RNA sequence: GGCGCUGUAGCUCAAUUGGUCAGAGUCCCGGACUGUCGAUCCGGAGGUUGCGGGUUCGAGUCCCGUCAGCGUCGCCA
């Protein structure tokens, strides 16, 4: 080792000792005579002092030091003078007096310095990620990530889970997200697919008798990115045999309790609250609601049915819904202009036809541009149903169930943040359960799997599989943290007969099901135990535990919104010979898309 | 693919309604300074305002296109 200690290690216990430190120059304070340098590494910062009585070569060399040079210093640990302790540093009671200095490597003038107050633009950070990762915040987040994953692994190991790796080069399966494909050189014209998740492999492991499996698994989905979505991401993938929903949920409850305690020092109550899918949609308009605040959706369709406002009345009469939320105390904070902005959002983003609003005045009356279409009685009914108090703002969407859900969810989410209805550091864990097995494919009588085609229906719903597929509820559960889907799982079908039936409903005939999933269907016939599991989005969990608002900041080398790696410039062109080897001819290139 | 925000010095940002608006801090270069820890002080260098058109007497500012980053809808079993 070039060093005897790290930059976060020395303290008053070491006073008088000689030591050698290595690190990056974090800042320089040159007084002509004495010069101070903060030396930084992963572990901390140590103030390094160059005194005027040092050897002249050392002083000469020190005067040439610049930010981010990598140096090695030998010297003596000394207590700082009285009143000059730096309580922000773990090493703040001592300083390191240099006898000898060696510049291990210089640093070009960097585009930005890790210690600067203002965070540089994200494109610059991604291009020079090696500099960005030196920033304290990035270091903390990646350390937090490491601790979270370790806690997950420890917890699973304590519960007899076995960690098994599954292939990255797999087979493309229908449905789901777009696959990332890898061409085969040997089988020209054929492709591997990178796993969207290790779903099928872990089920096979159950059939093989490895009754508790986990994997910290990299997953790949070629879909458009979001703040909480990257093309490659990491899951804690977990599967158990001889279990039902409650067993898996209970196992994850325990994991969340341990994570909250070990990582955040929080005590959370178990069992975590559960909400059915139907309740979540009715109250919050979404299957991953942020439950840190109320502002629940209220259905006013019945009042609307016989009111004088044509939009409301016709909506109710056509079998659609008039629902609203009470933005408590928002009347003064939301000007006419801000309401217009909300209206634009629900129209543009969710296809709503409009946004009706009422303001509850000081005297308790409801003011609204459309109030004139309502009788006193109807206004009173609305006020009572919405529990409107003076200063409240009521917002209504009259539309289909789907549009009203999306719109009100969107508004609620925005208002909750803007009105500061919750403490951003608060953590709320919950489960959404009893998802529908199927959802109707738009404008057709075709069904698609809400989760995936191996999801088991609830036992009491088996009878509906033939008669009323839309009514069947699945043994599916999503873990929600602060309005984010942090994980989701299901109990799987372990009966090949039921599996065939579900495939049938999904429009997969026996032949094509056999063609695509034959190996799984076969395996199910060779003694498959009842089993189920879950996958947690580790990047999202880290994001939430770190209090961040995007997962790029919890990933060492993330990609941009176009799935581009600004540092390595991937994806990129390959040599013609490589394509030739693969038997691939590129017919269309996007010359405009740089670089 | 749609909608929106952003793009000005290496970096972070500023620049009334289109009119000495090319500016600050920091970084960089040179100098001063023996106790700072966001050191301080003096001096200097540094920009074709992302790119391409257009409107105008005049564009960083307005319009159109385009590129990039971000947010979002679609999409993500």
From the options 3.10.20.30, 3.30.43.10, 2.40.50.140, 3.40.50.2300, give the CATH code of A12-105. Answer: 2.40.50.140
Residues 6+ apart with CB under 8 A from A505: A438, A447, A465, A469
Minimum CA–C1' distance nucleotide for A97: B35
Q: Counting beta carbons within 10 angstroms of the beta carbon of residue A592, is it exposed (0 to 12), middle (13 to 18) or buried (19 or more)?
A: exposed
Nucleotide nearest residue A593, measured CA to C1': B67
Segment A446-498, tens digit of pLDDT: 788 888 899 999 999 998 888 888 899 999 999 999 999 999 999 999 988 88
What's the ipTM?
Answer: 0.93
For A430, the 3-state DSSP assignment is strand
Question: Which two tokens mark A316?
Answer: 């109710």
Residue with tokens 């139907």: A278
Per-residue pLDDT at A390: 96
> What is the average pLDDT across A314-321?
94
What's the CA A42/C1' B55 distance, rounded, in angstroms?
56
As annotated, the residues of chain A forming the CATH 3.30.930.10 domain(s) are 138-269+428-569
Give the residue, A325 or A441, on which the prediction is more confident. Answer: A325
Name the nt closest to A197 by C-alpha to C1': B77
Query: Which A residues between 439 and 468 have a beta carbon under 7 A from any strand B atom?
Result: 442, 448-453
From first CA to last CA, the distance across chain A in angstroms is 42
pLDDT tens for A263-290 read 999 999 999 999 999 999 999 999 999 9
pTM over cut 0.90 = yes
**In the structure, how far is the CA atom of residue A172 from the C1' atom of nucleotide B43, in angstroms?**
67
Is residue A69 scored above 80 in pLDDT? yes
Q: In whole numbers, what is the pLDDT of chain A averaged over residues?
A: 94
User: Which positions in strand B are less than 7 Å from the protein's CB atoms?
Assistant: 1-3, 10-13, 25-29, 32-40, 66-77
Residue A333 tokens, joined:
């904070």
Task: Say whether the CB atom of A540 is under 7 angstroms from strand B.
Answer: no
Closest nucleotide to the alpha carbon of A27, via C1': B37
Q: What string of DSSP letters covers A284-323?
A: HSSSS--TTS----EE-HHHHHTSS-HHHHHHHHTT-EEE
Q: What CATH number belongs to A138-269+428-569?
A: 3.30.930.10
Quote the crossing angle between the two packed helices A136-158 and A538-546, to the nearest 10°.
120
**Listed range (A123-137, A169-183, A235-249) with the worst mean pLDDT:** A169-183
Q: Are A317 and A305 in contact (CB under 8 A)?
A: yes
pLDDT at A286: 97
pLDDT tens by residue, A441-455: 766 777 888 888 999
pLDDT tens digits, residue range A407-420?
Answer: 999 999 999 998 89
**pLDDT over 70 (residue A592):** no
- pLDDT attached to residue A460: 94
A82 touches strand B (CB under 7 A): no
- pLDDT (mean) for A549-556: 97
The ranges of chain A annotated as CATH 3.30.1360.30 are 293-418
- CA distances A587 to A578, A584, A593, Å, are 16, 9, 16
Please check the confidence at residue A594 and state whether its pLDDT lies above 60: no
Q: What is the DSSP string of A460-493?
A: GGTTHHHH-GGG-BBSEEEEEETTEEEEEEEEBP
Q: CB of residue A33 closer than 7 A to nucleic acid strand B? A: yes
Q: How long is the CA A497 to C1' B47 vector, in angstroms? A: 72
Determine the distance between A123 (CA) and B50 (C1') in angstroms: 13
Whether A84 sits with its Cβ under 7 A from any strand B atom: the answer reads yes
Predicted pLDDT at A312: 95
Which pLDDT belongs to residue A477? 97
* Element at A192 (helix H, strand E): strand A191-193
SS (H, E, C) A83-107: CCCCCCCCCCCEEEEEEEEEEEECC
| High-pLDDT (> 70) share of chain A, % | 98
Specify which residue's alpha carbon is closest to the C1' of nucleotide B28: A109
Do A49 and A97 meet the contact criterion of CB atoms below 8 Å apart? Answer: yes
148-207 on A, CB < 7 Å from strand B: 175-178, 196-197, 199
Confidence category of residue A84, pLDDT binned at 50, 70, 90: very high
What are the start and end residues of each CATH 2.40.50.140 domain in chain A?
Answer: 12-105
pLDDT at A443: 66
Strand B neighbours among A 44-73, CB < 7 A:
47, 49, 51-53, 66-67
Q: Which residues 304-363 on A are within 7 A of strand B at the CB atom?
A: 348-350
Topology (CATH level 3) of domain A293-418: Gyrase A; domain 2 (3.30.1360)
User: Which element (helix H / strand E) includes A71?
Assistant: strand A70-79
Altogether, the residues listed in chain A come to a count of: 595
Strands A274-276 and A429-433, sheet pairing: parallel
* Structural contact between residues A393 and A334, judged by C-beta atoms closer than 8 angstroms: yes
Mean pLDDT of A433-441: 90
């Amino acid at each position: 080792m070039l060093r005897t200690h790290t930059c976060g290690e020395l303290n008053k216990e070491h006073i008088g000792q000689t030591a050698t430190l290595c690190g990056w120059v974090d800042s320089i304070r040159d007084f002509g005579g004495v010069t101070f340098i903060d030396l930084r590494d992963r572990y901390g910062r140590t103030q390094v002092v160059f005194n005027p009585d040092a050897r002249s070569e050392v002083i000469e060399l020190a005067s040439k030091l610049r930010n981010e040079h990598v140096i090695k210093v030998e010297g003596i640990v000394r207590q700082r003078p009285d009143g000059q302790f730096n309580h922000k540093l773990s090493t703040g009671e001592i300083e390191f007096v240099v006898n000898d200095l060696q510049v291990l490597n210089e640093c070009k003038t960097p585009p930005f310095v890790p210690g600067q107050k203002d965070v540089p633009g994200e494109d610059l950070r991604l291009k020079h990620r090696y500099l960005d990762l030196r920033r304290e915040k990035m270091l903390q987040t990646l350390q937090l990530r490491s601790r979270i994953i370790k806690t997950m692994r420890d917890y699973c190991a304590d519960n007899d889970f076995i960690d098994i790796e599954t292939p990255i080069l797999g087979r493309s399966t229908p449905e789901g997200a777009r696959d990332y494909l890898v061409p085969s050189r040997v089988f020209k014209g054929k492709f591997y697919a990178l796993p969207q998740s290790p779903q099928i492999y872990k089920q096979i492991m159950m059939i093989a008798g490895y009754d508790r499996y986990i994997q910290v698994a990299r997953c790949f989905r070629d879909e458009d990115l979001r703040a909480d979505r990257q093309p490659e991401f990491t899951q804690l993938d977990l599967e158990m045999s001889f279990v039902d929903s409650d067993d898996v949920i209970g196992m994850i409850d325990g994991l969340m309790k341990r994570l909250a305690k070990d990582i955040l020092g929080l005590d959370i109550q178990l069992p975590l609250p559960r909400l059915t899918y139907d309740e979540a949609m009715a109250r919050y308009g979404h299957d991953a609601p942020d439950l840190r605040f109320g502002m629940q959706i209220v259905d006013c369709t019945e009042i609307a049915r016989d009111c004088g406002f044509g939009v409301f009345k016709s909506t109710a009469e056509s079998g659609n819904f008039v629902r609203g939320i009470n933005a408590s105390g928002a009347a003064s904070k939301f000007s006419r202009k801000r309401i217009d902005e909300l209206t634009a959002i629900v129209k543009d983003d969710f296809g709503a036809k409009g946004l009706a609003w009422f303001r509850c005045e000081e005297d308790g009356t409801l003011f609204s541009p459309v109030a004139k279409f309502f009788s006193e009685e109807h206004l009173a009914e609305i006020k009572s149903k919405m529990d409107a108090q003076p200063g409240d703002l009521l917002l209504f969407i009259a539309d289909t169930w789907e549009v009203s859900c999306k719109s009100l969810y969107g508004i609620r989410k925005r208002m909750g943040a803007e009105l500061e209805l919750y403490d951003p550091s608060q953590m709320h864990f919950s489960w959404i359960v009893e998802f529908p097995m199927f959802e109707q494919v738009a404008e057709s009588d075709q069904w698609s799997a809400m989760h995936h085609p191996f999801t088991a229906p609830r036992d009491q719903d088996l009878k509906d599989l033939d008669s009323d597929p839309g009514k069947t509820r699945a043994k599916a559960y999503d873990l929600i943290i602060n309005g984010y889907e942090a994980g989701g799982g299901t109990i799987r079908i372990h009966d090949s007969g039921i599996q065939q039936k579900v495939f049938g409903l999904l429009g997969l005939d026996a032949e094509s099901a056999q063609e695509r999933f034959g190996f799984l269907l076969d395996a199910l016939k060779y003694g498959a135990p009842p089993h189920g599991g879950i996958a947690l989005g580790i990047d999202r969990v880290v994001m939430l535990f770190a209090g961040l608002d995007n997962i790029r900041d919890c990933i060492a080398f993330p990609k941009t919104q176009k799935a581009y790696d600004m540092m390595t410039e991937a994806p990129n062109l390959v040599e013609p010979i490589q394509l030739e080897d693969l038997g691939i001819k590129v017919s269309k290139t996007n010359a405009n898309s740089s670089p």
